[in-house]
Amino acid sequence: MADTSDFRNGLIIRFKNDLYSIVEFQHVKPGKGGAFVRTKVKNMRTGQVLDNTFRAGEKVDVVRVERKKYQYLYPDGEFLMCMDTETYDQIPVSAEVFGDQRQFLKESDEVELLMSGSEIVNAEIAPHVNLEVTETEPGLRGDTATNVTKPATLETGAVVSVPLFVDKGDVIRVDTRTGDYIERVKK
């Protein structure tokens, strides 16, 4: 058991019978009354962010997690098969663990699994990936000055908004956390 003085960004705690990561925190000492810690915590399973206040010195249950690198192999129903890059063991990971990031996964991409014992708590992929555009409306010459976008389907099946000058066959960089287009990458 730890207390609120041990809080730091990224710390994973058991709170309300679930695992939460501390996104940000602030120790507050008002002129009147006891000190407290104002926090934002993110649910590791659902991604929901909550604001919560802890009394200063309140005990919290800190959860130790291990980060391990895996390679994504292929989808298998509601699971994604991943391989440990050190032991070559294959494990099924629930697609729900990946959340919205799943739509940007290609076979043989590296993923990082956060594990508490043998339980998979969360999965993270690279923050930016390069993917080929497989389908979009043709762009017109000179359509680079405006901020107008169009939908484009990527090789993984994800649909993102891209500028008008992006064509089928172009490789673009996408932010996997937000699903936003970043830039066109040279072939």
Domains of the chain with CATH codes: 2-62 (2.30.30.30), 66-125 (2.40.50.140), 128-185 (2.40.50.140)
pLDDT of residue 145: 62
| pTM attached to this predicted model | 0.72
Compute the average pLDDT of residues 120-136. Answer: 90
pLDDT tier at 33, thresholds 50, 70, 90: confident
pLDDT of residue 120: 86
Compute the average pLDDT of residues 38-45. Answer: 89
pLDDT tier at 144, thresholds 50, 70, 90: low
Q: pLDDT for 64-105, tens place per residue?
A: 888 899 999 999 888 999 999 899 999 999 888 888 888 999
Checking if the pLDDT of 143 tops 60, the result is no
Compute the average pLDDT of residues 129-154. Answer: 81
Compute the average pLDDT of residues 165-179. Answer: 90
Compute the average pLDDT of residues 145-167. Answer: 87
Checking if the pLDDT of 18 tops 90, the result is no
pLDDT of residue 187: 62
Sheet arrangement for strand 149-154: 159-163, 149-154, 128-136, 171-175, 180-185
Distances (CA, A) of 134 to 152, 158, 161, 162: 8, 10, 13, 13
Structural tokens at position 73? 């192999």
pLDDT of residue 167: 87
The one-letter code for the residue type at 168 is K
Checking if the pLDDT of 25 tops 60, the result is yes
The residue assigned the tokens 């980060």 is 67
pLDDT of residue 80: 92
